[in-house]
Structure 1
Amino acid sequence: MTPLSRAVALACLLMANTDALAQQGAGAEAASSSTVVVTATRGAKAVDKIPGAISVIGQQELASQYLIADDPSQALATYVPGYAPSRQKMTSTGESLRGRQPLILLDGIPQSNPLRAGSREGYFADSAIIERIEVINGASAMQGMGATGGIINYITKTARADGTTHGLNVRASSQLRSDNLDWKTGYSVTHKDGGFDLLGYVGLQRRGMGYDGDGRRLGIDNVQGDTLDSRGDDLFLKIGQRFGAQRMQLSLNRFNLRGEGDYRNEPGVVAAGVTTTSLPGRAPGEPPRNKVRSASLDYRHDELFGGAFSAQLFSHDFEALYGATPVATFQDVRLAPVGTLWDQSQIVADKRGARMTWVRPDMLADGLEMTVGLDILHDNTLQRLAATNRTWVPQLQFKSTAPFAQLEYEIGPVTLRGGVRHEQARLTVDTYTTLAAYGNRLVEGGETEFSKSIRNIGAVWRFAPRWSAFVASSEGFGLPDVGLVLRGVNTNGKSVATLIDLKPIITRNNEVGVNWRGADGQVGLSRYDSRSKLGSVLRVNAAGIGSVERVPTVVKGWEVSGDWRPVKTVSVFGSYAVTDGKTAASQGAPLDLALSARSQGPDKGVLGANWQFAPKAQLRVQASHLRDRDINIGRKVGTSNLEEHFKGYTLADMAVTFESAYGRIGVSVENVLDKQYVGYYSQSAAALDATGTFAGRGRTLALSWNRTW
């Protein structure tokens, strides 16, 4: 065991010996279970009444982390034990939750694109509009398709105080080099008058280049997408009106993030251990970009037939453009000589949907709560080659109708919970022809339907003051990457209706845990077992072409996390997660292959402390450790080499914030020790890719200023 992992384990043991085993989560600002309420479960519910591991990242935690690094995935990796390390890129390939993919939501609007997962869904809104993040760990069907690893729901801010308030925030970070200044500024206005409230925000951001611990310029990912040398903007509006027991709310979000195109990827030297870097100069084609447009109309009635009714109509338009590449898959001798054709992939996904929920307490008996609802989703997704206007993945028309019902019965210190959701889904695909690299195969279009009832059951026992234990079994529903399956058809006579690879993924998560939550802290310990009889594993062959294999997957692990306030001015927090994922070479083969870095993160520990050293000033220090991982030694499946090696590392950060008459000022240092390291994914899955062995950021100084009036 490494020094930091021993420290994390010791910290957790000390907290346990002082009555500090609490509900897993990062909601340090909540003093008791009654104040920590989660809404991602389709109804506001205190965490000590939910059978499962819940993480709530509050505003204070987010503000501290975004001062250190304005990176959504890095915040998740810090506060959610089972979340894999951040790539520090626009692409999120390899970022997973407990070895599986999470469903990402913004105020309940799905941001994930499970039909053609391009790993670009992590950037969809400015971090300044986020009030908190709720994470449901483990497979779940509460919010529909795609949550085989859990649910990550970003909750936006809302005007809460009467009157009008203006806010201005500025953040700048640098490594004291001429081309690596990052800056961000945003203006917000909130207004609340009786039943009317409004929040508006506009933000601009410009990111420069970065440097590693050795002072070498970081490698830019010109193809998959990068936050280096990029600019972004966000326009957000939320308007609400209350009419007695009823409330209407309209939310609009317009977000853009795109590369500037001023630098190009310079391959490293794999054999010599030289990492990828960047040189000034424009890469071919248009720079990668994300464009997101979301809208929702929400209605709530708090006293409808003795219960609370809520409904949401939403739309979500997502476009991801990838950088130009002459990859063999794009070549077509009818258009250009082999090896000379540069093209760009583009994913377009448009969603329309409705969600309705009615929660009725004391239904037929005291303590019996019933929740019923209906979800409707229409998802149209396609992937094209933008430069030559070729179809790579035909339009996928997915329609789903899902009624659900859940009962919860509270008997003194025990809460019993169980429910069922019935997914009735249909996928329609037109007849299409694959790219020349796959043989120009004609694939007959058609429909394939899925009908599946997905269940959950669990119990929470509050067996002593501030103590509780839970046991839960829940299922999640997902699809393999349908686009990846369809675009890779390379034999004649195939049809959409008969492709066995399109069968749904049903993941069952069984979990037990014990928790403690009190006025001075919280800690939670849980153990889980997640299984898919027909899972989905992406394997990359010797030619660099990925394919989906439908094989069983099992992920087991345990997690501990919490925080403790020994004195009024000091708080400590920590977590440790062990994840062990297994799969098979083929159906019927033994489960003796470890999941790769594309699917699973390494064992991870985090330890930190906050010290209020003055009435209006606070110091934060934190360290994270990733453990070594060497897997599948000498193993291959076909031409896919499954062997991976990862040398772990420890990173430390610090930040100071203080209130002044002119606003809140923050100073932070990321990677305080200027550690030279290569990221987890780059060391493991991309170890032999000279263009993808990316080092991580070296020591980075950031300053921020926030003022409201």
Structure 2
Amino acid sequence: MYRSKVSAVAVLAVLATAGAVADDAALEAGGDFEEIIVTGSRTPEKIDEVTASVSVIGKDDLMEDLKLNLELQSTLATRIAGFGPATGSTSNSGMTLRGRTVLVMIDGVPQSTPLRNGQLGLRSVDPSALGRIEVIKGATSIYGNGAAGGIVNYITKQASEETLAGDIAVSSRFSMVDADGSFGKRVDGTLSGTLDKFSYVVNAVYDSRGQQKDADGDTMGLVYGLSDLDTVNLFAKAAYQFDADKRLQATVNYYDSQQDSDLVDVTGNPVTGQKTYAVETSADKPGVPQGPKGNTNIMVKYSDAALLENTELTLDLYRQKIENVFFFSSRLANPDEGFDGGQSLIKSEKFGVRANFKSTFDWDSVQADFVYGIDYLKDTTSQPLVDGRLWVPEMDMQNKAAYLQSKFVGRDHWVFKAGVRAEKIDISVDDYSTLRLCRSETQCSVPMDVTGGELDYSSTTYNVGLRYNAIPAFSPFISFSEGFDISDLGRLLRSAVVTDLMQVQTEASEVRHYEVGFTSQLQDLKLEFAYYRSTSELGTGTQLDPDTGVFLPVREPQEITGFEIAAQYDVSDTLEIGANYTSFDGENSDTGEKLSGRFISPAKLSVYADWSPIENLRISANLLHLASRDEFTAEGNAYAIYEGPVDGYDLVNLSASYRMDDVEIYGGVENLFNEDYFSQRAQSIFIDSYYSKGLGRTANVGVRYSF
């Protein structure tokens, strides 16, 4: 929803709006972060000087969402114009930002695995560990590969200025349609404080879910399902302030969220409209629990606000280890070798170094900021199967980049930004063999022995933006930005039908993003509007090979256009209402064919109201309306993957909380009117195992104690 006070549908994308983490000390000293954006240019800057499409979800809104739904993708889908609808699952496949994939980060550390994009990055941290979320819209290569649609940066909590402060919450979630087996339990708590020059934050979460049930009271399907999901998130941050300028900080985040269930799916059929649902079984289930398996981030950051007279430094070092385990699938069968299916996992290890400098000059009527630095990232990613077979070979990437971003703020209220980033990417792949996969005993793919080698990419991308902020009632902007994308190379390699790596279509995609819009503040009314167009010479679609039954990647040029509008009105001191609307469409720019639901979602409207009828009582309601989309023709009665017709739906949610001194009692109801629907993703993908209905009426109740 567009409730975010700092949301600014401004412009651009690359701008060195890189989205690194802002200096924590500067933020703490700055007080009200509604006045600043932190991911915009790797350093804090005022919101009315941002020439990038940026939205921020603050801590209060995150805490409010915890009373209703624990999924960050739901928060992003309802609060951020441009995001597709939430999938209602652990996967964010098909949930794009303005039709393109996003790079997900925690404090600037990439969580996505672009070399083999499993579309799981949005579920990489518990919302209770976060202080806010920053979203930069549009193409940007500022962090390198994987940000064709923009950046989602999860900013973790800051330490309290008190010696000891914190909170602890206990809650339960259950189906109001059929509560049997649906009860979950959750405990989350935070401790933080400042002791002289030392500060700390510790957050721990244990969340055990019961069965997630649809409007009929049946348990939803298990493919990327949320039923019987046990999540543990452990987060710690410690910092030492040497003096007013120098600071050292270390952060660790551990995230484990796996589904260990005794349920099995009863597979439906989208052609007949029969849904997929889950039932209990006493039989042994193949495979191991699915989900993130102990994913770990470690980051050390050193900052010096006075490295030189007018120059500050931020140095980041980070390491990350990811193992995302997928569900057991019969599509990974090979009867000749005795495999009736298989289960894959994406393994990724990253090591990165970032040195970021900012120099500021005051020239008569112009203040000039120059942000510049170097990035180094080593990323080793593969996708083996749990049974030992190798599906995607190990890809070793080294990414080296240098960048310069400038901003000029005139006394006459003009803001001009321009930037450039040059990078070189080297990827090595050893010799490998593609898997023989069978949909039946007679329909199998043909394995290929592929000679490996070195893939080299180099790119220079630019951005430029202009904004006029003299008149709050009308502050227009315009921008252009470029991105460089080689994401999901693994899908191309695993489906190779040639014998040499050099024959695989591994060319990078250059994304160009154009945008124009304005923001407006008219007393108690705030308006935002943006129109955008993005083009890329090579995207990656999906096509079924009828001979082998294997889904193959297809390279295609893409053009996406859309617009967003948002409004917020403070009716009184106790009532706030608002809405946002987003609509975008895309096509293959060579053939004119529409882009599939893998990229394009139907138009979306989000409306909300926050009301405090009496002191300490808050009531919130929101409506999410998704339109229909029917752009493709069926073959017989079946549609190609991601081309299924989407029937729109309306979801209403309600939550309330009441505070008594240090204790807050809260409750929320999702899908208040028990809408019976299939999610946009389930309808669009048009695959039996994915064809599960959306969540029915579900309650969440809890109590939080703060001290």
Instruction: Give me the TM-score of the superposition, normalised by structure 1.
Output: 0.90
Whether contact under 8 Å (2:352, 2:377) holds in the other structure is: yes
Displacement, 1:649? Answer: 0.7
Where do residues 6-21 of structure 1 align in structure 2 (5 Å cutoff)?
none
Residue in 2 that maps onto 1:201: 203
Residue in 2 that maps onto 1:23: 8
Root-mean-square deviation (Å) = 2.4
Structure 1 CA distance for aligned equivalents of residues 639 and 520 of structure 2: 49
Whether contact under 8 Å (2:641, 2:684) holds in the other structure is: no
Whether contact under 8 Å (2:148, 2:485) holds in the other structure is: yes
Give the letter for the 1:555 counterpart: I
Where do residues 178-197 of structure 1 align in structure 2 (5 Å cutoff)?
178-197=180-199
Aligned: 1:472 with 2:476: no
Give the letter for the 1:513 counterpart: G
- Secondary structure in 2 matching 1:598: coil
Aligned: 1:572 with 2:577: yes
Residue in 1 that maps onto 2:136: 136
Residue in 2 that maps onto 1:613: 613
Displacement, 1:546? Answer: 2.0
Where do residues 585-624 of structure 1 align in structure 2 (5 Å cutoff)?
589-590=590-591, 592-624=592-624
Displacement, 1:34? Answer: 6.6
Residue in 1 that maps onto 2:357: 358
Where do residues 512-527 of structure 1 align in structure 2 (5 Å cutoff)?
512-517=516-521, 520-527=524-531
Residue in 2 that maps onto 1:215: 217
Gap runs ≥5 in structure 2 = 11-29, 438-444
Structure 2 CA distance for aligned equivalents of residues 518 and 302 of structure 1: 37
Aligned: 1:342 with 2:341: yes
Aligned: 1:460 with 2:467: yes
Structure 2 CA distance for aligned equivalents of residues 545 and 509 of structure 1: 33
Aligned length: 669
Where do residues 233-632 of structure 1 align in structure 2 (5 Å cutoff)?
233-244=232-243, 245-281=245-281, 283-291=285-293, 292-305=295-308, 306-327=310-331, 329-331=332-334, 333=336, 335-336=337-338, 341-362=340-361, 366-387=366-387, 389-411=388-410, 412-437=412-437, 438-491=445-498, 494-499=499-504, 501-517=505-521, 520-542=524-546, 544-583=549-588, 589-590=590-591, 592-632=592-632
- Secondary structure in 1 matching 2:219: coil
Structure 2 CA distance for aligned equivalents of residues 286 and 594 of structure 1: 38
Structure 2 CA distance for aligned equivalents of residues 252 and 650 of structure 1: 39
Displacement, 1:53? Answer: 1.8
Structure 2 CA distance for aligned equivalents of residues 108 and 162 of structure 1: 27
Residue in 2 that maps onto 1:703: 701
Structure 2 CA distance for aligned equivalents of residues 185 and 201 of structure 1: 11
Q: Which moved more, 1:346-355 or 1:271-280?
A: 271-280
Structure 2 CA distance for aligned equivalents of residues 525 and 424 of structure 1: 36
Whether contact under 8 Å (1:378, 1:399) holds in the other structure is: yes
Displacement, 1:52? Answer: 2.4
Structure 2 CA distance for aligned equivalents of residues 489 and 600 of structure 1: 26
Whether contact under 8 Å (1:659, 1:665) holds in the other structure is: yes
Residue in 1 that maps onto 2:24: none
Gap runs ≥5 in structure 1 = 1-7, 13-19
Displacement, 1:114? Answer: 0.6
1:104-123 Cα distance to aligned partner (Å, 9 max, x none): 01000000111001122222
Whether contact under 8 Å (1:352, 1:378) holds in the other structure is: yes
Displacement, 1:66? Answer: 2.4
1:432-481 Cα distance to aligned partner (Å, 9 max, x none): 11113443321111101111101110111114135311101011121141
Whether contact under 8 Å (1:38, 1:47) holds in the other structure is: no
Structure 2 CA distance for aligned equivalents of residues 407 and 52 of structure 1: 13
Structure 2 CA distance for aligned equivalents of residues 503 and 635 of structure 1: 31
Structure 1 CA distance for aligned equivalents of residues 359 and 378 of structure 2: 28
Whether contact under 8 Å (2:557, 2:588) holds in the other structure is: yes
Whether contact under 8 Å (2:7, 2:54) holds in the other structure is: no
Structure 2 CA distance for aligned equivalents of residues 378 and 660 of structure 1: 50
- Secondary structure in 2 matching 1:536: strand
1:261-285 Cα distance to aligned partner (Å, 9 max, x none): 2111111244442211111025311
Distance 1:518 1:260, change over 3 A: farther
Give the letter for the 2:406 counterpart: L
Residue in 2 that maps onto 1:645: 645
Q: Which moved more, 1:252-261 or 1:58-67?
A: 58-67
Q: Which moved more, 1:457-466 or 1:419-428?
A: 457-466
1:235-272 Cα distance to aligned partner (Å, 9 max, x none): 11100111110111000011101112211111124444
Distance 1:380 1:218, change over 3 A: same
Displacement, 1:21? Answer: 13
Give the letter for the 1:295 counterpart: I
Aligned: 1:90 with 2:94: no
Displacement, 1:96? Answer: 0.9
Displacement, 1:521? Answer: 4.5
Distance 1:562 1:248, change over 3 A: farther
- Secondary structure in 2 matching 1:136: strand
Structure 1 CA distance for aligned equivalents of residues 7 and 270 of structure 2: 45
Distance 1:635 1:364, change over 3 A: farther
Displacement, 1:486? Answer: 0.6
Whether contact under 8 Å (2:6, 2:47) holds in the other structure is: no
Displacement, 1:362? Answer: 1.0
Structure 2 CA distance for aligned equivalents of residues 629 and 384 of structure 1: 36
Structure 2 CA distance for aligned equivalents of residues 624 and 195 of structure 1: 46
Displacement, 1:102? Answer: 0.5
Distance 1:417 1:146, change over 3 A: same
1:575-594 Cα distance to aligned partner (Å, 9 max, x none): 0001111125xxxx42x222
Give the letter for the 1:309 counterpart: L
Displacement, 1:641? Answer: 6.6
Aligned: 1:111 with 2:111: yes
Structure 1 CA distance for aligned equivalents of residues 347 and 582 of structure 2: 35
Distance 1:299 1:45, change over 3 A: same
Instruction: Give me the TM-score of the superposition, normalised by structure 2.
Output: 0.91
Residue in 2 that maps onto 1:15: none
Structure 2 CA distance for aligned equivalents of residues 381 and 657 of structure 1: 44
- Secondary structure in 1 matching 2:682: helix
Displacement, 1:361? Answer: 1.2
Displacement, 1:69? Answer: 1.1
Give the letter for the 2:531 counterpart: R
Distance 1:43 1:534, change over 3 A: same
Q: Which moved more, 1:154-163 or 1:510-519?
A: 510-519
Displacement, 1:179? Answer: 0.5
Displacement, 1:215? Answer: 2.3
Residue in 1 that maps onto 2:16: none
- Secondary structure in 2 matching 1:166: strand
Distance 1:201 1:417, change over 3 A: same
Give the letter for the 1:708 counterpart: S
Q: Percent identity?
A: 25
- Secondary structure in 1 matching 2:151: strand
Whether contact under 8 Å (2:598, 2:642) holds in the other structure is: no
Structure 1 CA distance for aligned equivalents of residues 433 and 330 of structure 2: 21
Structure 2 CA distance for aligned equivalents of residues 218 and 22 of structure 1: 34
Whether contact under 8 Å (1:422, 1:451) holds in the other structure is: yes
Displacement, 1:81? Answer: 1.2
Q: Which moved more, 1:312-321 or 1:537-546?
A: 537-546
- Secondary structure in 2 matching 1:567: coil
Displacement, 1:33? Answer: 9.2
Structure 2 CA distance for aligned equivalents of residues 97 and 323 of structure 1: 25
Displacement, 1:92? Answer: 1.9
Give the letter for the 1:216 counterpart: D
1:382-434 Cα distance to aligned partner (Å, 9 max, x none): 111111x1111111001010000011111221011000000111010011111
1:340-362 Cα distance to aligned partner (Å, 9 max, x none): 52321111011100111111111
Residue in 1 that maps onto 2:25: none
- Secondary structure in 1 matching 2:154: strand
1:118-153 Cα distance to aligned partner (Å, 9 max, x none): 122222111110111000111112322211101110
Runs of 4+ in structure 1 displaced over 6 angstroms? Answer: 30-34
- Secondary structure in 2 matching 1:631: coil
